[in-house]
Every structure is written in C-alpha cells, then in structure tokens.
Chains A and B, each alone.
Chain A
Amino acid sequence: MVLGAADRTAVRALWLKLGSNVGVYTTEALERTFQAFPSTKTYFLHLDLSPGSAQVRAHGQKVADALTLAVDHLDDLPSALSALRELHAHKLRVDPVKFQLLVHCLLVTLARHYPGDFSPSLQASLNKFLSHVISALAPNCH
C-alpha cells in the first residue's frame, strides 16, 4: 500500500496535533498490548510490566521518539530506521507479527482519545504509515 500525498499530509497533521503527548499514547498502547496479547510480554522479561510502570513509560517514550522520527522521514523509512531494524531484527529477534499487535493497540488508543478526528480515511492513512514502519523494521529489508 503506497503512502500517497494525502496519507502523508494526514499523518503529519495528526502528529502535530498529538504534540508532546505521543509518549502518553504509545505507553498506553504498550500497556494494552501486554494486557490483550500476553505473548508479547515474553520480549520484556527485563522490564517491570505492572500497571503504571515507569519502565514501560520509558519504553513508550522510546517508541514515540522512533515514530516521530519516522513521520519526519516518510520518504526514506528503511534508511531512517536502519539502526532500529538492526536492533529488533538481529539483536532482539522480535517476531514481526508482534509489531502488528502494537500497531493495532496504538490505533485503539488514538481512536479512544481522538474519536472526532479518527475518520475512516485517517485510520486508513495511519494504518498504511504504520505498516511501512513495520516493513522497515523487518529482517529482510535492506
């Protein structure tokens, strides 16, 4: 699914609106992922995953920063995310299917907090953008 001009505009506009709160939402998305899809916790044995955990919040902020980086580099995600791909694919060896679960929970979180903005078109654009991010993190993307 190609990320067209309208998709990029929509994603950038949303990111402006989210402002400095991206970390709040990615943290909530992580919490939801751990709750709804317990198998994802197997990748975080080193973290305290109890509700409200500062470590989860810190990880949420890392995810937020990475997504913001992605939004700023929509023209060249594989290159912008190459260090993260190296980390997730080769060091952490995360099954790429797990990223889909986090993406879904991020969409749930955003729909919950911005119902008025979360039109079908925005959902489609976000889904495409996040799919591209997942592809850029996959092991066979060089």
Chain B
Amino acid sequence: MVHFTAEEKAAITGLWGKVNVEEAGGEALGRLLVVYPWTQRFFDNFGNLSSPSAIMGNPKVKAHGKKVLTSFGDAVKNMDNLKGTFAKLSELHCDKLHVDPENFRLLGNVMVIILASHFGREFTPELQAAWQKLVAGVATALAHKYH
C-alpha cells in the first residue's frame, strides 16, 4: 500500500486545486493517444483519430478525458485508500473494457508531464516525486481486481 506523508498530501492537494480538470483531462487522453498510438485500440468508436490535431480536437476524446481526470480527483481525496476507491473501476476495466493495466501507467506518466508543462517552476522534483507515487498508486489500484 502506498503511504503518503502529510507534506506529500498537502503538496498534491494544493496543486490539484489549480488544475482545470476538463482541459487537462482532454489533453492527457489526447497525448496518450498521440504518443502511444496503440492505445487507440480502445477507442474505435471515437471517430477521427487520424492525426495529432484530429485527436487533440476530437470532442469525444475531450469528453472522455474529462471523465477520466474527474475520477482521478477521487484519488486525490482518498490517498489512504486507493484500492478501495478504485475497486469498482478496476473490475470495469478488467471485465468489461479489457484494458491492459500497463496503459494506466502510461496515462499516469502523461499526466505528470502535463502538470510539468502547466506548472513549470512550481513543479519541483519533490512535487513530481509525490505525484509519481500517486499515479503509480492509482495504476496499481486499477489493476488490483484483475483476474
């Protein structure tokens, strides 16, 4: 189980408060689909994913990205119980969506890169380290119910 210090929790929560979830969500999912094109396999019904600009401008990508990042907000609120928080979503991603958990790690890292580009100076190595713990914890929690 991941353990967060009080400082790490405060740092993560502080930064999260400044994130535009809708924008960042679309950007994160979009970049995942551009940089790791095989991830598009889960989004056949999303329409035009033929180029980076098509992907980044795709309304379904933006909408789904927002959904994913909103759910990530639950992680920020429940850092001490990631496995419990994501139990149902883990079952969904395994049983219904059949998503390889490696994708959760990829998306987590894309999110960290986006935070770095948005928060620049503020995104210190310490802050990055705390966020890496969180995204790794979420990825593990989402993989936890796989069978």
Interface residues of A (CB under 8 A from B): 28, 31-32, 35-37, 104-105, 107-109, 111-113, 115, 118-121, 123-124, 127
User: Closest CB of chain B to A97's CB: distance in Å?
Assistant: 12
Is chain A's interface secondary structure helix, strand, loop, or mixed overall?
A: helix
Q: Is the CB of B132 within 8 A of A37?
A: yes
A31 to B129, CA, bound (A): 11
A120 to B37, CA, bound (A): 12
User: Closest CB of chain B to A67's CB: distance in Å?
Assistant: 18
Partner among B31, B35, B55, B118 whose Cβ is within 8 Å of the Cβ of A115: B118
Give the 5 A-B residue pairs with the shortest CB-CB distance, closest first: A111-B117, A115-B117, A120-B34, A36-B129, A35-B125
Partner among B31, B116, B132 whose Cβ is within 8 Å of the Cβ of A109: B116
Most chain B CB within 10 A, of A111, A115, A120, A121, is at A120
Q: Is the CB of A108 within 8 A of B112?
A: yes
Partner among B35, B114, B128 whose Cβ is within 8 Å of the Cβ of A127: B35
Q: Is the CB of A111 within 8 A of B116?
A: yes
With contacts A32-B125, A35-B125, A121-B52 taken as known, whether A112 is within 8 angstroms of B120 at the C-beta atoms is: yes
Q: Is the CB of A123 within 8 A of B35?
A: yes
With contacts A123-B31, A123-B35 taken as known, whether A32 is within 8 angstroms of B128 at the C-beta atoms is: yes
